[in-house]
Amino acid sequence: MIPRYLTDASWQELPRYEFETIIIGSGVAGLYTAIRAAESGKVLIITKKALDESNTRYAQGGIAAVTADEDSPDFHLQDTLMAGAGLCDEDAVDVLVHEGPDRVSELIGLGAEFDREDGVLALTREGAHSQRRILHAHGDSTGAEIVRALARQVVKQPNVEIWNDHFAIDLLTENGECLGALIQRPDGSRVAAFGKATILSSGGAGQLYRYTTNPDIATADGIAMAYRAGAEVRDMEFVQFHPTSLCYPGAPRFLISEAVRGEGAVLRNSAGERFMEQYHPLLELAPRDVVARAIVSEMERTKSTFVYLDITHEPREKVLHRFPMIYETCLNYGLDLTSDWIPVAPAAHYMMGGVKTDLDGGTSVKRLFACGEVSSTGVHGANRLASNSLSEALVFGKRIIDRLKELPKPDFTGLRQGAPDQITLALRKDVPMTPVVERRLKLQKVMLRNVGLVRTEEGLEKGIDELRRLTSLFESRLTKREEYEFANMLTVGLLVAVAARMRQESRGGHYRSDYPSPREEWRRHIVFHRESGTVTEPVRERDTSPMGQDEVAAARD
């Protein structure tokens, strides 16, 4: 069983700090919520690297929101539901599509500079969107621009304290309530931070896989911490593999944005044949899971390790204007986007599942909230619609902040007097272990081979067995950041594999070659809880009550 805490410590022995709000992570979700939370109290941001290092920074395509007259929230809702393959929470999607435009306007007010044409926001279209509704910045550097604007605002806030290069090891709880986090400083010492609320915004889990578009920091920390603390975790089998990452000797698996296909690029197999018409009527703009599997199918059929992305037929000026960063990166490896076919292959990109939340970002643990990729709001279902993630983070971040205004501050008197539960793991020992870098690589290979884009019962069983052999780690005394990260990856890797074995169907980002079609009886969520085990729950149907949202929420409570 996964232990409650990763390390030996006692709250009584640690230096203690108190804040109004504790935020773990510094992507769009963490930065935005910090700005808004600072309006009413002291905020702590914990980031294990630097303030501007997150998955958000690497987002290229853009942010989805209805801003054009010919578009509508209903169109956006239907596109999201279609991509989500029957597992979206329609109420959550409804919140996203109606509140997203206001949050994007707010983001612009905070200094984010999106591309414009003739003074009007420039919009593009991406896979599975029926309308051009994707705002972008500097062509293909949308995430970096959003991080720049928000980080600039954060550092101006006198109420925000930033702890760079700090690692949140575990959430501190008592009687089912989250009171803060156990944190390791850069020098290896530990402190306890307490707050009225703790917000997880720590990003995704791309490093579970050998090939990923995510940075090194995406090690599933938030999901694992929440799971150990008793939060419900949902839909872990749904991992999105981006269809087009650069696949070239000596180059990293650099993301080639879906927007490139949105602007006219086509896919060709190693024989030069365009192939998407054989797989989906939307061709290259089909949902990501469809395109990714089509690419793998062509790779297997032609015995190649890649396919080509071809935008050479579009004007050079257009390509350079829309995709300057992608163009420059490819050029560094001798590939000219305007004249060369670019070799690409799928890579792990986004975790649809995560810490289960309500419509206000609340989890099953009191005072613990989750926002961004770490969360499972119900918006994405079985397959995220392109560019919905950034707007989701803003929309639900705002809802969390509104919820915090109603949250009473806990009594920390007992904490100061040493009342909380001890973190005692007396059985842990200092034992020789295989270097973490080797164990991490083994885990990534197991996930790629057995829990990747195409899954089978036999492969999943083998993968689970191999991952369980690595769990002896939890009996050892962990002290280093890379050891905590590996423990988090192992925890979440097991959750992904077990959920994938349970779901005997194919749906969205989860594809079982032994169960190649969706099954109505599996139109359910798989929910994990560390102590009470695993359950399945039906998809929540959209609330069509004539009551207002506040009344609906009150009725649910």
pLDDT digits (tens, 9 = 90+) for 511-555: 999 999 999 999 999 999 999 999 999 998 776 554 444 443 433
| 390 CB-near residues (< 8 Å, 6+ apart) | 28, 56, 59, 62, 63, 64, 142, 143, 146
Catalytic residue among 261, 288, 384, 439: 288
pLDDT at 54 (0 to 100): 67
What's the pTM value of the predicted model, to 2 decimals?
A: 0.91
pLDDT digits (tens, 9 = 90+) for 461-512: 999 999 999 998 888 888 899 999 999 999 999 999 999 999 999 999 999 9
pLDDT at 10 over 80: no
Q: What's the CA gap between 383 and 84, in Å, rounded?
A: 5
Lowest mean per-residue pLDDT among 92-96, 250-254, 293-297? 250-254
Instruction: Confirm whether 288 is a catalytic residue.
Output: yes
User: Which candidate, 501, 510, 511, places its Cα nearest to that of 534?
Assistant: 501
Residue 145: both structure tokens together:
């621009």
Please name the residue ranges forming H helices in 286-338: 288-302, 316-322, 324-332
Per DSSP, what are the bridge partners of residue 182?
Answer: 170, 192
Q: For residues 511 and 454, is the Cβ–Cβ distance under 8 A?
A: yes
Q: How many CB atoms lie within 10 A of CB 311?
A: 23
pLDDT at 60 (0 to 100): 67
Lowest mean per-residue pLDDT among 31-35, 45-49, 174-178, 414-418? 414-418
* Residue type for position 514: D
**85 or 557, which is more confident?**
85
Q: How many CB atoms lie within 10 A of CB 124?
A: 21
Q: For residues 227 and 530, is the Cβ–Cβ distance under 8 A?
A: yes
* Residue type for position 210: R
Helix or strand holding residue 454 (H, E)? none
* Residue type for position 484: Y
Please list the helix, strand and coil fractions of the chain in percent, rounded to the nearest 5, in that order. 35, 20, 40
pLDDT at 523 (0 to 100): 97
pLDDT digits (tens, 9 = 90+) for 264-292: 999 999 999 999 999 999 999 888 888 99
**4 or 46, which is more confident?**
46
Structural domains in the chain?
A: 242-348 (3.90.700.10), 436-538 (1.20.58.100)
pLDDT at 549 (0 to 100): 42
pLDDT at 2 (0 to 100): 87
pLDDT at 234 (0 to 100): 98
Q: What's the CA gap between 5 and 309, in Å, rounded?
A: 46
pLDDT digits (tens, 9 = 90+) for 337-351: 999 999 999 999 999
pLDDT band at 51 (very low <50, low <70, confident <90, very high): confident
Q: What's the CA gap between 250 and 387, in Å, rounded?
A: 29
First CA to last CA across the chain, in angstroms? Answer: 32
Q: What is the dihedral of CA 290, 219, 228, 200, to 10 degrees?
A: -90
pLDDT at 426 (0 to 100): 45
pLDDT at 550 (0 to 100): 47
Cα 467 to chain centroid distance, Å, stands at 22
| 156 CB-near residues (< 8 Å, 6+ apart) | none
User: How is 394-448 classified by DSSP, letter by letter?
Assistant: HHHHHHHHHHHTTPPPP--HHHHTT-SPPB--TT-B------HHHHHHHHHHHHH
Per DSSP, what are the bridge partners of residue 168?
Answer: 183
Q: For residues 33 and 201, is the Cβ–Cβ distance under 8 A?
A: yes
